[in-house]
Structure formats: structure tokens, C-alpha cells
Chain A
């Protein structure tokens, strides 16, 4: 999306290792930061989100961190499993508009 950059575009990890995806943005009015997972041929589905008044949020093996000063937020997946293989998108909401980063294709090798 025009407002958010996502890195890396592809990520290959060994099963059990951690995966980290980072997104940077420029609009300081951004207040909502969701992460979506899209499996092959499926629709994107929300896995975790964070709002601008929170710095970190965790849900089992997934965590998201937000640094509003530096304007970046990251997705952390620990103890990766083969079923974590998918494309992950970071999202950014400023006002009423929801835009997405370019996506990260994650491959977890058994």
C-alpha cells in the first residue's frame, strides 16, 4: 500500500524457529494496526491487531509490537509450525481507510 512498507517479502524459517515481519508507515494519524494471514487460495483472516494506545499484544505464539515514535510495528511468530506457512499482511487504518503492506510469504521448513 501507499502508506505502509512491509519487509521482508519472503521469509524461510526452520520449524521451531521464530519469524519476524516488520512494517513501517508515515502517517502519524494511524491508529489501528491489524495483521492478516492468507493461506493459498483463501481469503485473508485476522490473526492479531493492536491499537495506538498499546505497545505490545500477545496471543499464544503470536505477538505484535508497536513503536509509534519510530512509526513501525512488527509481527513475531515463535515456535513456528508448518501450518504457519502462508502470506502475512500488515494493515494500517488512518481515519476510515484500511490499507495493507505488500505481504510476506512465510515458508516453514519441517
Chain B
């Protein structure tokens, strides 16, 4: 049972390049989230998904796109990377209990450290 796994762990991009971060969970969780964490700052929600084929914007969605084609995977894309997107990216997942609102522990991946030069 691997939990939540992020690929890659580290990446350096040049300004304008594109890339996709992969988050995979093996816990059959419905909800998945992408956050970014900048030095000295908290976790800011980029996009999230409540199930296969559905996505929604979080607090800081600009410059990012996401897809949830399979329940176990949540992809985060940067179409044209900018230095302001240098950050540590965390993916998280959780299951649904009861009425279908978020109310259980979110399990985090190990993070992806992205540097845009």
C-alpha cells in the first residue's frame, strides 16, 4: 500500500516550458487536491477533484490545468512555466464519509520540488 505517490520528486524547468505532475493514490479515494507551498507560506489550493471526470478551481488556479481521467490519478499541468511557479507542490487525497462533503483525513504525497529558471 503506497498511499499517495507524486512523480517526479524534483524538476527544473526553463521559463516557457511545459510539464505535467502526476499524483497517484491506491486507497480508492474520491477526493484529490493539488496544493503549492512557497517558503514561509502555507498550503494554497490550486485545483481539486471530487471524482473521476470532475475538477474545480481552488484559491490559486491561474497558470495551471488539471485532469482526472482515472479515479486513482490526478494530473497537474503547467502549459508555460513562469518563475513565479517555483514552489513545492503537494497532492492529497481523501475518502468521503456520509453526506459527500470533505470531512475526513487528507493523505499527502511526498511533494514535488519545482524550480523554474
A-to-B contact residues, CB < 8 Å: 1-2, 6, 31-32, 34, 43-46, 49, 51, 89, 91, 93, 95-103
Using known A-B contacts A6-B42, A100-B42, A100-B43, determine if residue A95 contacts B101 with beta carbons closer than 8 Å.
yes
Contact present for A51 and B103 (CB under 8 Å): yes
Q: Could you write out 15 A-B pairs with CB less than 8 Å apart?
A: A32-B104, A43-B110, A44-B43, A44-B108, A46-B106, A89-B43, A95-B101, A96-B31, A96-B48, A97-B45, A97-B56, A97-B102, A98-B106, A100-B45, A102-B41
Q: Quick check: B108 and A43 within 8 Å, CB to CB? A: yes
Once the chains bind, are B48 and A98 in contact (CB under 8 Å)?
A: yes
Size bracket of the B interface? 20 to 34
Partner of A96, one of B42, B44, B101, B111: B101
CB distance from A23 to the nearest CB of B (A): 11
Q: What's the Cα separation between A93 and B44 when bound, in Å?
A: 13
List residues of chain B with CB under 8 Å of any chain A CB.
Answer: 31, 33, 35, 41-45, 48, 50, 56, 58-59, 90, 92, 94, 100-106, 108-111
Q: Are A98 and B105 also in contact (CB < 8 A) when A1-B59, A44-B90 are?
A: no
Instruction: Decide: A96 and B50 in contact? CB cutoff 8 A.
Output: yes
